[in-house]
A and B are shown apart, each in its own frame.
Chain A
């Protein structure tokens, strides 16, 4: 093997190890020291978030009038949920168009808080419209209307949305 061959070989051998040595040392030590402080500030901000949520809830949704509507999808459902629209006492309350990521999050056991608002105590009417696509690609829209009673405690309603089936409604409601 010539001198050039050996030089080239030694260059090639050494190159890979030397290249990032200094960077690794820096990143290893200094980044680790910062990491502890980052974790602390994350904890602090989580604390602020929690206190802020509490304040928001007291200010915006007092318990006497508070209503929250949640949405979930059964685990074995294969339909594609595109959008949900909610009316309370005939007035539009909220609507939501689902991204793929959100739909996947619902299918994997997540529950979405779709609406937080206020209604006075007493009887109310809730209208839910969902639209989406069935497994075969057929588009569908389904609307269902429910009545509910708002007491003095905060009210949480859970909507379970499923694809339309033979003789069954895809929108189920439950109170928590």
Chain B
């Protein structure tokens, strides 16, 4: 019997990989939110660029706990790992999450981080590390990931070839809302790999009957029935095999294989009439499918066994014509790939905008080369290669755009230099003059402030004298000095008058002291305001002056360095794209050549069987005519 389903037994189901990239609640950090916005649209390069920049800025601030990213730091680090993984940067993925694990964080966050790291390591194929990360989970676990952890643990055990260890976690998940269908199937596979055939059959039987509505769960239910049917087929229990194969939905992804196997189960059980039904359905389906092509030979084979050689001969003839037509298509496809049209078709922007773009390729009449490669396109290695090819093409487009940006930047810098350089010497000269004046005013202001402060602690009325009063006081002091040595009644009289005047002035200064101090303080406060405005204008000028310089100075080296880096990267990308594209073409052509060879082989068999059927039909007719 066909071995393909048994071979697929090793491929357990990793349903969690299909989770949505909507990773967190709405972040209050705008830049992290911006990264999520890009990631939600599948633009992981842009998401990584934004998040890398945000992390770099976060690590540079003096007080990271005041940064808006701080409350979301664990989420952001998890997201970084997710984005890297989704952008197929497995080498980098996990570093940020490791940082969460090493940090002093809450138990739940640490356990979440350990799970996410384990998931990344599992996807990177580092099973021992993945299990080690899971073993670090201790204490409280976020409820949302409890089942995910068990499912991952089971998958790691299965991937490491320890099915016995996978059984317990999978049994725990049998009632999981999220994983019940997948765990039921994987448990059957675990039993099978562990050599417990009877338990495997019983479990796969349960998995094949679970109630499901989700397309993924329905598919896994079909897969369980297909594997179980194939198991019975191998054991020679053909009726049992047919029962399970018939449970596979006719419109599901495993229906073709199930119809083919169902036919063989019935033929093996000598129920030839019953084999005709599934094979008849299958033979009418998409001719490029392997199972359909096999059914086109199997169906006339069954008719032949039923002694209906005329019908068999006719169907062999149809098959032969179909195979010849397909071989022509394959030849055209191989030629088309050699002409480079395959990669051009895969790179078409309008196709890639559709999440089911691989499926849509098949319906494009102008891309015949994709008809036969759906299985190849779905294989992991080819998908990785193809995605890498597309990523490289995207990166090259980006780099070419950036390279033209450098020219624009240089033009912009030159225009700014041309504008500012003639203006700045005069501006600087005026500024120097202004600067010295403002410095003087600042000193004067400081002196007045100091005087006011001194007066508040040590009153000195004379310091608040008006200019006229100061002149009068100075004149009195001059007169007193002049009269100091005179010894005459007139001089004494003048000295007394001077003292009276001084007394009058002192009286005024002393009695009006508080009033004057208040007025002085009020005026000084007004001056403070004026000085603040002046200082703001001064600072604004300084910033504008610095901005003028910064708008064109210091970029030449950066631009040159970046242009060189960009050119180097473009050269590397060109080399890698050619290698990657060529490799994809070789693999695609190999696949098509293999399919052509298989069809040629089928054609030879069909020709032989056609001749044989004609002979038998002729002999039967002769027997009827001459009994």
Residues of A within 8 A of B (CB): 4-5, 7-8, 11-13, 15-24, 26-28, 30-32, 34-56, 58-59, 62, 64-65, 68, 70, 72, 74-75, 101-102, 104-106, 108-113, 121, 152, 156, 158, 176
Contacts and interface: CB of A to CB of B under 8 A. Distances in A.
B362 interface: no
A106 B37 contact: yes
B303 to A, nearest CB: 13
**Which 5 interchain pairs have the tightest Cβ spacing?**
A111-B33, A110-B37, A105-B40, A108-B22, A31-B385
B576 A37 contact: yes
B301 A8 contact: yes
Contacts of A36: 91
A20 B375 contact: yes
Given A35-B385, A45-B399, 11 more contacts: A4-B609, A8-B297, A19-B290, A26-B587, A31-B580, A41-B573, A43-B91, A104-B40, A106-B37, A111-B26, A156-B30
Given A19-B595, A27-B385, A49 B49 contact: yes
A158 B594 contact: no
A42 B398 CA distance: 12
Given A27-B382, A55-B555, A104-B40, A49 B398 contact: yes
Given A20-B591, A35-B388, A41-B392, A62 B551 contact: yes
Given A11-B605, A55-B409, A72 B33 contact: yes
Nearest to B583: A30
A16 B379 contact: no
A50 B53 contact: yes
Given A38-B576, A49-B49, A31 B382 contact: yes
Contacts of A105: 36-38, 40-41
Interface string B574-589: 0010011001001110
Contact of A24 (B4, B381, B413): B381
B23 interface: yes
A55 B562 contact: yes
B3 interface: yes
Contacts of B52: 46, 50
Contact of A15 (B27, B33, B294, B590): B294
Given A27-B379, A31-B385, A152-B543, A110 B38 contact: yes
Given A17-B7, A109-B40, A48 B562 contact: yes
A24 B380 CA distance: 10
B45 interface: yes
A46 B598 contact: no
Contacts of B41: 101-102, 105, 110
Nearest to B37: A110
B24 A109 contact: yes
Nearest to A57: B53
Interface residues of B, number: 92
Contacts of A108: 20, 22, 36, 40
A48 B590 contact: no
Interface in B285-300: 290, 294, 297-298
B49 A53 contact: yes
Given A46-B49, A64-B547, A52 B402 contact: yes
A39 B22 CA distance: 24
Nearest to B92: A43
For chain A, what secondary structure do more than half of its interface residues adopt (helix, strand, loop), or is it mixed?
Answer: helix
A15 B598 contact: yes
A23 B26 contact: no
A106 B399 CA distance: 28
B506 interface: no
Nearest to B590: A23
Contact of A39 (B30, B88, B559): B88
A45 B583 contact: no
Nearest to A62: B547
A7 B550 CA distance: 82
Given A23-B587, A45-B398, A55-B409, A50 B56 contact: yes
B369 to A, nearest CB: 14
Interface of B: 1-4, 7, 20, 22-27, 30, 32-34, 36-41, 45, 48-49, 52-53, 56, 68, 87-92, 290, 294, 297-298, 301, 305, 375-376, 379, 381-382, 384-385, 388, 391-392, 395, 398-399, 402, 405, 409, 412-413, 540, 543-544, 547, 550-551, 555, 558-559, 562, 565-566, 569, 572-573, 576, 579-580, 583, 586-588, 590-591, 594-595, 598, 601-602, 605, 608-609, 612
A70 to B, nearest CB: 5
A135 to B, nearest CB: 20
A51 B87 contact: no
Given A48-B565, A102-B41, A110-B37, A38 B4 contact: no
B2 A46 contact: no
A26 B586 contact: yes
A41 B569 contact: yes
Contacts of A51: 558, 562, 565
B391 A50 contact: no
B598 A45 contact: no
B587 A13 contact: no
- Among B24, B385, B555, B588, residue most surrounded by chain A Cβ atoms (within 10 Å): B385
A22 B399 CA distance: 35
Contacts of B298: 8, 12
B388 A109 contact: no
A50 B52 CA distance: 8
Contact of B587 (A27, A44, A53, A112): A27
Contacts of A20: 375-376, 379, 591, 594
A110 B540 CA distance: 36
A52 to B, nearest CB: 6
Contacts of B565: 44, 47-48, 51
A106 B34 CA distance: 9
B162 to A, nearest CB: 24
